[in-house]
Amino acid sequence: SDYQQLGYNLRVNLFQGGPLKSRSLMRDSYTLDVFEKAVIDPRHWHGRKISELGRWYEKYFLDLNVQKAMKEKYG
């Protein structure tokens, strides 16, 4: 009956979650020495450079941190 079919579907674990170990095509395609030799440049990541807006935000938050430190030190 429909009730038994519904109960069976609820008892079956349809969504078992993701794999315990994630796999990456890039990691599987290259040997480990490629990743060890890689230099991470924060200004040039994934083929993109930080835009002027990103630089503005860096300066803005640096300024906020300096103001906060000045308030803590001098009141």
Instruction: List the chain domain ranges.
Output: 1-39, 42-74
pLDDT confidence tier of residue 13, bands split at 50, 70 and 90: low
Cβ neighbours, 10 Å, residue 50: 13
Residue 42, amino acid: P
User: How high is the pLDDT of residue 22?
Assistant: 75
Per-residue pLDDT at 19 exceeds 90: no
* Residues pairing with 44 in the sheet: 49
What 3-state class would DSSP assign to 17? coil
Q: Indicate the pTM of the whole model.
A: 0.35
Using one digit for the tens of pLDDT, what is the confidence trace for 30-52?
Answer: 777 877 777 777 776 666 666 77
DSSP conformational letter for 30? S
Q: What is the dihedral of CA 57, 59, 62, 67, to 10 degrees?
A: -110
Q: Which residues pair with residue 49 across a beta bridge?
A: 44
Give the residue with greater pLDDT, 65 vs 13: 65
